Amino acid sequence: MSKTAFVFPGQGAQIVGMGKDALHIPEVKKLYDDADAAVGYSLSTIAFEGPEEALKSTANTQPALLTTSLAYLEAFRAAGGADLTPDYVAGHSLGEWTALAAAGALTPAEAARFVHMRGRYMEEAVPGGLGAMAAVLGAERDALRALCEAVTGEVGRVELANVNCPGQIVVSGSKEGVDAVVARGKEAGAKRVVPLEVSGPFHSSLMQPAAARLEDLLATVHIAAPAVPVVANVTAEPVSSPDDIRRLLVQQVCAPVLWEDSVQRLIALGVDTFVEFGPGSVLSGLIKKIDKTVRIVTVNGAEAAAAAVQALR
């Protein structure tokens, strides 16, 4: 039997103006109002009008992107898709929090508040300029891991951060370590290594201070059992227990995002349709590179939401 997964993007998918096209839907307006109240300032203004610099700040990006992805899910429901429920949900990094909110494990307002704090903790974990990330194109995972281990021993810490799809892996760590991988990428078979514009070495062990602060914060919140299983970034396995969800959200800050493995796991579980909710189509592109045979529906606006309902009928 055909199964569906709803998936949600992470940082990097944001764009000024996102979500504004769905604001005429009362549930969407409420989402943004609640998110503004949860973070204590007008997050919606930053999402709708910018400036881009403000939207790119991690502490703003994360709640703005989460709220926008949920806004497009609401637009999909309002367009007649309320009964089209997924068998699984998943998200890339920050998107895992969106997936948890979509599945009812956290309220959207709580999720916005937590990822705002998560973004702050991540920005504050490593002083500016000391950490870096780079996208490595064309290298095999094991060869790149071996290069990272060699560089860590010789120059400075660098680790696999995002295993996105075949031939696209992001590394993260100290500036010296990442610079060395940029210079020596060919040793791991890389065709190209592209430094990323980010404010810290996300999903590396250098994020340990952020993980510790997030653990303290998460101890104060009620996490409900999600309505459908969430495939976790850290394990690429479905998770439903609130205690496991809490533990994995803390680990996720320092651990690699196993996106390729997560998609493969969902396919092995019988998923043949992926619906991406959020601005852009980053995950749709990655999923296509992981498996060309699955069906991908992208909901990146209010009009796309109505089209998606038609397509899935």
Residues in Cβ contact with 216 at an 8 Å cutoff, skipping those fewer than 6 apart: none
Contacts of 293-297 with CB under 8 Å at 24 or more apart are 294/267, 297/273
Q: Give yes or no: 203 in active site.
A: yes
Catalytic residue among 44, 69, 93, 174: 93
* Nearest partner of 7 among 103, 92, 123, judged by Cα: 92
Give just the sign of the alpha carbon dihedral 181, 283, 232, 290. Answer: negative
N-to-C CA span, the chain:
16
Measuring CA to CA, which residue among 191, 198, 64, 78 is closest to residue 131? 198
- Whole-number Å distance between alpha carbons of 230 and 102: 10
Q: Which residues neighbour 167 within 8 Å (Cβ) at sequence distance 6 or greater?
A: 137, 138, 139, 289
Catalytic, 24? Answer: no
- Catalytically annotated residue among 199, 203, 204, 284: 203
3-class DSSP assignment, residue 289: helix
| Rounded-to-integer distance, Cα 259 and Cα 169, Å | 10
Nearest to 285 by CA among 4, 58, 9: 9
Hey, which residues are catalytic here?
93, 203
